[in-house]
Amino acid sequence: MKKRHSGIITLIIVAIIVIGGLIGFIHHRTAQQNKVVRLGLVGTDSQPVWNNVRKRLKRQGITIQYVTFNDYVQPDVALKEGKIDMHSCLTRYYFDSYNKKENAHLTSIGNTVISPLGVYSKKFQSIKDLPNGATIAIPNEPTTLGRGLNVLQSAGLIKVKKGSGIKPSLNDITDNPKNLKFKEVDPATAARALNSVDASIINGNYAEAANLNPKKDSIYLEPVNKQAKPYVNIIAVQEKNKNNKVYKKVVAAYQTEETKQAIEKTYKGSEVAAWPIFGKN
C-alpha cells in the first residue's frame, strides 16, 4: 500500500512539474509575442488611421506606442539614435535627403500615403480660366515650391527648364505664356492667401485644415503618377531592422483594404493610399 501511495505522489509531483513548465513556456511565448513598437508621428493628423491599424495589431500581440513630434526633423534623429523603433510621417524625398546627408543607415520598409498638391481659387472654377497676369500663391519651402511649379507645368500653364528635376525654382521657368505672377508664402498660410490672390497652391494637410476638399474644391489636382513618387510617405526603420518580423507585420497590417478605406473616410482626398499605386515599398 505504501508503495502504491508513493507511486501516486511521484506521479502528482511529475504532473506538477510538467504543468508548471508548460505554464512557464506559455508565459514566455506570450511575453515574446506581446511586442511594443514605438512609432514616431508628427502631430496627431495620422492617428485616426493608425488607430485602426493599431487595433488589429493588438490582436496579433503587437502594441503600437505613439511618440509624437512637433517637426519633421526630429523623427529621423530619434530613429537614428534608437529612441523610436520606426516612424511614419516623412516623404521619401525628405527621408532620403536626411539619410544620405547624415549617413544615418535608415531605410524604408513600406509606402503609406501620398498627399496630392492642389491648386485652389475663390475666383475661378477651372485652371483654364486663370487670366493673363493672374497671381498665384506658391509655398516658399524649396521642395514644395519646385513641386508646385511641376504641378503647373503638368496643367499646361508653364514650362520649366529640362533637367531641373523635382526642385525647379522660379528662375527655372522657361515659358510663361499667361505671364503668371507668383507670390511666395509660408506653406501654412497658403490657404489664407486665397483671399488676396487669383489662385493658391496648397498642401493636402493644410487644405484639409482649411476644410477644403481636394477632389471637390481644387481647380487642379496633382497627378498621382510615377513623377509623384518622391512625395510618398513611408514607414522607416534602422537598416539593421529591415527584416524584423514584427515590423513587417506592422507594414502588412497597414497595407490592407481596411486601412485604405479608413484613409478615404478620414482624409476625403487630401491623402491617398500610396501602396496600390506605387507598390508596397
Residues 145 and 213 in one domain: yes
What is the tally of helices (H) and strands (E) in the chain?
10, 13
Q: What cell numbers appear for 225 in the block? A: 503618377
- The last residue of one of the domains, among 223, 238, 269, is 223
Number of domains present in the structure of the chain: 2
Residues 45 and 112 in one domain: yes
Q: What tens digit of pLDDT does each residue of 144-167 get? A: 999 999 999 999 999 999 999 889
DSSP H stretches of helix in 119-244:
142-154, 204-209, 214-217
Q: Please give the model's pTM, rounded to 2 decimal places.
A: 0.82
State residue 81's pLDDT score. Answer: 97
pLDDT band at 30 (very low <50, low <70, confident <90, very high): very low
What is the C-alpha to C-alpha distance for residues 110 and 50, in angstroms, rounded to an integer?
14
Q: What tens digit of pLDDT does each residue of 219-238 get? A: 999 999 888 999 999 999 99
Residues 218 and 234 in one domain: no
Residue 18 lies in a domain: no
CATH number, domain with residue 248: 3.40.190.10
Report DSSP state, residue 46: T
| Residue in the structure block whose three cell numbers are 520598409 | 109
What is the C-alpha to C-alpha distance for residues 176 and 125, in angstroms, rounded to an integer?
21
State residue 7's pLDDT score. Answer: 56
Query: Domain range holding 47?
Result: 34-116+229-278
R_g of the chain computed on alpha carbons: 26
| Residue in the structure block whose three cell numbers are 529621423 | 76
Residue 25 lies in a domain: no
What is the C-alpha to C-alpha distance for residues 275 and 281, in angstroms, rounded to an integer?
7
